[in-house]
Amino acid sequence: MRKILISGASRGIGKAIALKLLKEGHSLSLGVREKGDLFNTPLDPKKNNSDSFLVHNYEAIDKNSSKKWVDKTFETFKSIDTIIHCAGIFKRTNLLFNDNEMKDIEDLWKVNVMGPWILTKHAWKYLSLSNSARIIVLASMSGKRSKGNLTGYSMSKFALMSLCQSMRNEGWEKGIRVTAICPGWVNTDMAKEIKHFPKKNMTQANDIASICSNLLDLPNSSIPFEIALNCQLETSIY
C-alpha cells in the first residue's frame, strides 16, 4: 500500500481519486483549502483511522502551507511515495485581456504551475527514498493544444506539462515515475457552465480515479508519461 499526498481532494477529480484509493487501503494525506468541505462525507477525518488518513490545510499559492503539509504527512506516515496533483483553477482569460484580469493570469500561474512545483520540491527527498515513487499530475488537453479563447488557462497548462517533463527527467534515476493525465471536458463543477456538450458524454471523474489506481499498480518499467483522454474528437494533438 502507498503513502499518498492528494491535492485538491475536497471536490471533483481529486475527491473521486481519494474515495477510490481509500477503499483500496492506501494511506492518504488530503490537502484541501477548507477541511469543513469533507465533514459528513466518506472522507471525513473523524470517520477514518488517523494512522493512515490525514486531512491538512493546503493553499497552492502558499509555499509555507505546502511545507507544513508535507512535514505533517511524513511525521504521520513515516514515508511518502506518491503525489497526485489535482488542485487547479480555471479562468476564461483571452489573449487581449482587460487590465482588471491581470490577477486572473497571476493566479493561474501560481495555482496551476507553481503550486505543483513547490509541493513536489518539498516532498522530493521522501519520494527519492522509495525507488518506485509516483507523481501523477492532472494536466489538461489545454496543455497539448490551444483551443478557443482560453489563453491564460492554456498557457498555465502548457507550462505544467513542461514541469512534468522536468520532474520525469530529474527523478528517473531515483525510480520516480511521472504521469501527466490530459483530459478534455470532465463532468465536474469546473465544467458546469458548459452547455454545448452533454455532461453524460464528458469524461467522468470516477474513470480518472480508476486510471490513477492502475498507475499505482504498474511497475516502473510500464509507467506512461502521458495519458490523453478524449471525450470528443481531437484533430490536432501535438
- Each residue's pLDDT tens digit, 48-90: 878 899 999 999 999 899 999 999 999 999 999 999 999 999 9
Q: Read off the pLDDT of residues 181-200 as tens digits, 9 standing for 90 and up.
A: 999 999 998 778 777 889 99
The three grid cell numbers given for residue 10, joined into one nine-digit string: 475536497
pTM exceeding 0.85: yes
Query: Which bin fits 12, alpha (ψ -120 to 50), beta or left (φ > 0)?
Result: left
Q: Quick check: helix, strand or coil at residue 171? A: helix
Q: How confident is the model at residue 225 (pLDDT cuts 50, 70, 90)?
A: very high
* Dist. CA 71–CA 78, nearest whole Å: 10
Q: What's the pLDDT tens digit per position in 153-179?
A: 999 999 999 999 999 999 999 999 999
Which residues face 27 on adjacent strands? 3
**Grid coordinates representing 61?**
499559492
**66: closest CA among 47, 85, 39, 38?**
85
Q: Using the CB atoms, write b or e for 42-73: b if 16+ within 10 Å.
A: ebeeeebeeebbbbbebbbeebebbeebbeeb
- Phi, psi at 125, each rounded to 5°: -65, -30
What band does 202 get if pLDDT is binned at 50, 70 and 90? very high
| 238 has a pLDDT exceeding 80 | no
Structural domain boundaries in the chain? 3-229
pLDDT at 219 over 90: yes
Tell me: pLDDT of 131 over 80.
yes
Can you tell me the mean pLDDT for 214-235?
95
**CATH homologous superfamily of 3-229:** NAD(P)-binding Rossmann-like Domain (3.40.50.720)
Q: Is the pLDDT of residue 236 over 80?
A: no
Q: How far apart (Å, rounded) are the C-alpha atoms in residues 132 and 171?
A: 10
pLDDT the model gives residue 237: 60
Distances 195 to 48, 91, 93, 146 between C-alpha atoms, Å: 38, 17, 19, 20
- Residue 164 identity: C
**What is the reported pLDDT for 210?**
98
**Taking a C-beta distance cutoff of 8 angstroms, is the pair 125, 74 a contact?**
no
Beta bridge partners of 30: 6, 55
| Average pLDDT value over all residues in the chain | 94
